[in-house]
A and B are shown apart, each in its own frame.
Chain A
């Protein structure tokens, strides 16, 4: 709703700026206008054709990985309100009068303007083939298009075809695949993405996309849309004479500038469309500007990418604010995208059109990787194409036009192959543009101290996000970032060091990687257990001893891990045997009762469906566990930053509502992940139906049965800051569920901070749930195989810590109250009766030889 304009007797009245079109470029224009003070000096009116304000069209397909239309929004209501911007949605401009300087909207409302900005974007080009308007034919440009395709596909389609194998076509193919349709891509050119990539890149892309189950027809034209008796789409006739059966067709064969309004009102337009503008984005009428995909820039091109559109938005705002410096004379067509999970990037002279240029190519068909650099005769980098692995894009694009500091072949070889590449962002000149979406240079980034500051002050990293990694490398390591006074690295960075360099000892890590002043020292109570946990998590993989009580590892563990029990307030310990899934036989239940009775322990049922036995002295622990191990119990790891328990409801076997065997799945999961060391404790649950009796949505990973499989939820938490878990994936089979949990847990272990539960981690990690889903579901980082291998190592090497301890006299030696009096119990550990059991004798503690100092509690 528009904000009512306060209307004091203001003289003279503020001039009015009308923006026609509220897409990504329109929104960027509003932000630039506010930055330039235009919101204060002008009344700003925005006419938006779509029923919703500006949203991230580039990310449209992320709808299918769970992003809602609201989450795609780029518009902040507060932003509009704060600056008094009047936004009218569902209200396109119908006509304007350049003499009277008014715009008439569809509803008949008339707005006077002093300055008019056209940001009407483009429309999808539909080739003039017979049948193109049949029911079941769509375009893919707006959220409404997407919702219409979704609705139709759910009712009427199992197969879909996309006309066009370019950037937008592959986006649309991703959407159809996301809807579960058997998907075909029909491209007239001999390769996919003909504008961006060359033949080799197209071939790599084709292999990967075909491998995903899509059918690609290149070098093939669409001749006719065939319809069935009811008039809806039943197939397509192709130029090779064949007919393709399909229930649905999406035209995605390019876009055309929406310049109709300008044409009708006598503004100059280019021969092939696009409103002609000068370097200030002014049209042939000096009071009318045009920006984005509807405009033909001064270099004669119509730019279909968002980054040049943003630049034009800023240029127009600057020009309206009478800044004569700003100009837009053209942009390069560098892009980095992720299409169907495949990285594709091209930059500079990607097709090698410069005279005398030569290519350096690396191609690995097995991994679907293709990298080509175009080098000039003088050794300068002119451009390139990257498919399958575009990590280097952030560095290579700014180097374009310069002679790279290392031989070109090293720039395309994968990490670890051949000589190491010493090239980092420090080698870039200060004027190198790091963020091409917002045109931010290295110098501007280095004027900031932190990533949030960079994003706030320069907007760098807030567009496509491809430069965020390089920005991070350019920023100084802030002193407050490190784990503790001993390490300047975060837990995640230490994890990577331990993993990559196979560091198996705390000392080696501290002396080699600690802060200067801490090297040679003892470490501290923060880093020792953290590093102990990292080494334990990676033990089988890096070749460290897996048993947490051996060697130097023994000195790293908190007392709970050291004694494999939980320290309580009077110095006694509690014991929790593992009861997988909460299922226990009467015989085992009796054993627990007998052990508790014989050792005089206080017993309590825990929230995690097991039994906690309190009040054991350290010297009693081995004898208690001797009995428990003999009866078949294992450590419950209640003392560790590790998997605790997987709760379950009784499930399909007994419950009349259950749809799956939740108990079996809970047991399987608990046995798989038992003993897994993590940044913090891990809790889980499995519910046998949507009634959710096991409360899985409050767990780090929770599983809820569906009629056809399992839904996986992650990042839930109870405690002080409760958080409902987020749905990660639906209707998984058993193997798919376990594979996904393997990846999720290992990715969490790898990237979380010390003592950061999955809930806080999901909130903190860049990109949040979407990023985690990209990584663990779509394997966007290509690390899933490694994550699965790490978990397989863990599962293979699991041993029960208590059984191992009991087998080894050396390990048992520590379980004494006093080193010089092994048989003597600690006299300060005593108990008094309460409700037929025991409780700690706290007065006994204050009766100790020395009086209590400080606060006692």
Chain B
């Protein structure tokens, strides 16, 4: 007997790291998670219920704020816009859409 998957998990090295219950995520918004190595991840849920995770640190300012940016989509690809200076980052590749030189780390994420 199985129940609907509700736990949001991040891939770290060889393990799935459990972050929180899916219900904590609001579609279109993000949350920050503290990882075992002291770094931070920004988690997002889109309106279709797909989850994404990237590094929480905004590379332009150094502040750990990407989780507080707004989720958007362009040509079907999801992105987050930094709440500080509004640069956008592709949630699937981590690539900055406003500066080719800049990328943030991407984590695999699943709802299990």
Contact = CB atoms under 8 A, between A and B. Distances in A.
B70 A528 contact: yes
B29 A852 contact: no
A824 B59 CA distance: 23
Interface stretch (A4-12, A421-429, A565-573): A565-573
Contact of A820 (B19, B28, B62): B19
Contacts of A570: 62-63
B73 A828 contact: no
Contacts of A562: 29, 68
Interface in B22-37: 24, 26-29, 31-34, 37
B72 A559 contact: no
A517 B20 CA distance: 33
A528 B28 contact: yes
B90 interface: no
Contacts of B46: 522
Given A826-B64, A848-B62, A849-B37, A817 B73 contact: no
B101 A854 contact: yes
B51 interface: no
Given A559-B68, A849-B37, A854-B102, A525 B81 contact: yes
Interface residues of A, number: 48
Interface stretch (A215-223, A549-557, A777-785): A549-557
A820 B12 CA distance: 15
A241 interface: no
Interface residues of B, number: 49
A558 interface: yes
Contacts of A850: 39, 55, 57, 105
A558 to B, nearest CB: 7
A571 B75 contact: no
B70 to A, nearest CB: 4
A569 B63 contact: yes
A817 B56 CA distance: 11
A555 B68 contact: no
Nearest to B83: A559
Contacts of A556: 28, 70
Interface in B73-101: 73-76, 78, 81, 83-84, 86, 88, 96, 99, 101
A232 to B, nearest CB: 69
A856 B38 CA distance: 22
Q: Which of A523, A818, A821 has most chain B Cβ within 10 Å?
A: A818
Contact of B34 (A528, A555, A821, A856): A821
Contact of A819 (B24, B59, B60, B61): B24
A822 to B, nearest CB: 10
B109 interface: no
Contacts of A629: none
Interface string A681-709: 00000000000000000000000000000
Contacts of B47: 507, 522
A552 B39 CA distance: 29
A849 B39 contact: yes
Given A529-B70, A820-B20, A571 B65 contact: yes
A559 to B, nearest CB: 4
A848 B64 contact: yes
Contacts of A558: 70, 83
A524 interface: yes
A386 to B, nearest CB: 47
B61 A857 contact: yes
A852 B62 contact: yes
Given A846-B62, A854-B59, A525 B101 contact: no
A422 B100 CA distance: 50
B47 to A, nearest CB: 6
Contacts of A820: 18-20, 33-34
A356 interface: no
B74 A525 contact: no
B59 A852 contact: yes
B31 to A, nearest CB: 4
Interface of B: 18-20, 24, 26-29, 31-34, 37-40, 43, 46-47, 55, 57, 59-65, 68-76, 78, 81, 83-84, 86, 88, 96, 99, 101-103, 105
Given A522-B73, A524-B72, A558-B83, 11 more contacts: A486-B72, A524-B81, A552-B28, A559-B70, A569-B61, A570-B62, A571-B64, A829-B64, A848-B39, A849-B37, A850-B39
26 contacts: A486-B72, A521-B72, A523-B72, A523-B73, A524-B73, A555-B70, A556-B28, A556-B70, A558-B70, A559-B83, A560-B83, A567-B68, A570-B63, A571-B65, A817-B34, A818-B33, A818-B34, A824-B34, A826-B40, A828-B57, A845-B62, A848-B64, A852-B62, A856-B59, A856-B60, A856-B62
Closest 9 CB pairs of A and B: A845-B62, A555-B28, A524-B72, A525-B81, A522-B73, A521-B73, A571-B63, A559-B83, A559-B68
